[in-house]
């Protein structure tokens, strides 16, 4: 997993020697996300919808009230989801817990690793060699995102425009935010208005 988390450090990696490992890991993450993570979230959403619906169409509001309610069940669910998500994403992707995850769109590279927090492409200060303007000894996060998406044949995901960071959600689990309707990335994720 070093190819995922150490690429933006001082001596990032020998591109030729680590490219295969990085590509395999990214390919496996793509499969895991599309086959397991996304369907699991959709099932959880559907289950929660059945449990919380009382004939009322305000499902997001009910999710939000459940997680904000402070009851034992909501604290246990919230805490469990938060720990699983935090440990998994931090270890694998160097995640910064923004609460509005874009990993599946950015070649499994956390956009919050960008010193400027840019979520829709590089700042324009990236060097021709792909180095960061703020920290010239590091790779530009968006250079890595482009390179990885190209290797994964997923450059089309970079054409989506995502809203800026909602700083009130930083440090909260993105899966809970997605279910509760707080995450504005939810529409590209597949939970569009009709699904909700």
Q: How far apart are CA 31 and CA 186, in angstroms?
A: 20
Segments forming the whole domain that contains residue 153: 2-189
Number of domains comprising the chain: 1
CA distances 109 to 5, 20, 79, 93, 94, Å, are 9, 17, 24, 6, 8
SS3 of residue 131 by DSSP = strand
pLDDT tens digits, 57-101:
566 677 777 777 777 877 887 888 888 888 888 877 778 888 888
Residue 123 within a domain: yes
Residue 70 located in a structural domain: yes
Residue 77 burial class via C-beta count within 10 angstroms: exposed 0-12, middle 13-18, buried 19 and up: middle
Report whether 92 contacts 183 (CB < 8 A).
Answer: no
Chain segment 93-148, per-residue pLDDT in tens? 778 888 888 888 888 888 888 888 888 888 888 888 889 999 988 889 999 889 88
> What does pTM read for this prediction?
0.67
Residue with tokens 């496996």: 28
pLDDT confidence of 178, banded at 50, 70, 90? confident
In this structure, is residue 196 part of a structural domain?
Answer: no
Residue 194 lies in a domain: no
| pLDDT(7) > 50 | no
**Cβ atoms < 10 Å from Cβ of 138:** 19
* Domain contains 195: no
Is 178 within a domain?
yes
Looking at residue 157, its pLDDT comes to 86
Residue 88 lies in a domain: yes
What whole-number percentage of the chain has pLDDT above 90? 3
How far apart, in whole angstroms, are the C-alpha atoms of residue 66 and residue 73? 9
Write down the pLDDT at residue 12: 43
Rounded to whole angstroms, the Cα distance separating 32 from 109 reads 15
Rounded Cα–Cα distance for residues 144 and 54 (Å): 46
pLDDT for the residue numbered 142: 92
């Amino acid at each position: 997993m070093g190819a995922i988390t150490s690429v933006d450090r001082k001596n990032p990696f020998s591109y030729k020697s680590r490219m295969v490992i990085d590509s395999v890991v990214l390919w496996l993450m793509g499969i895991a996300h599309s086959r397991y993570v996304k369907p699991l979230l959709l099932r959880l959403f559907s289950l929660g919808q059945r449990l919380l619906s009382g004939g009322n169409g305000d499902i997001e509001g009910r999710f939000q009230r459940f997680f904000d309610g402070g009851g034992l069940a909501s604290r246990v669910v919230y805490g469990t989801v938060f720990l699983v998500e935090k440990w998994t994403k931090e270890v694998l992707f160097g995640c910064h817990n923004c609460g509005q995850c874009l990993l599946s769109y950015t070649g499994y590279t956390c956009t919050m690793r960008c010193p400027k927090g840019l979520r829709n492409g590089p700042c324009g200060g990236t060097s021709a060699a792909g180095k960061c303007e703020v920290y010239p000894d590091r790779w530009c996060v968006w250079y890595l995102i482009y390179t990885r998406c190209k290797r994964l044949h997923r450059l089309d995901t970079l054409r989506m425009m995502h809203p800026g960071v909602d700083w009130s959600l930083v440090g909260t689990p993105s899966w809970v935010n997605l279910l509760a309707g707080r995450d504005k990335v939810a529409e590209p994720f597949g939970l569009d208005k009709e699904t909700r």
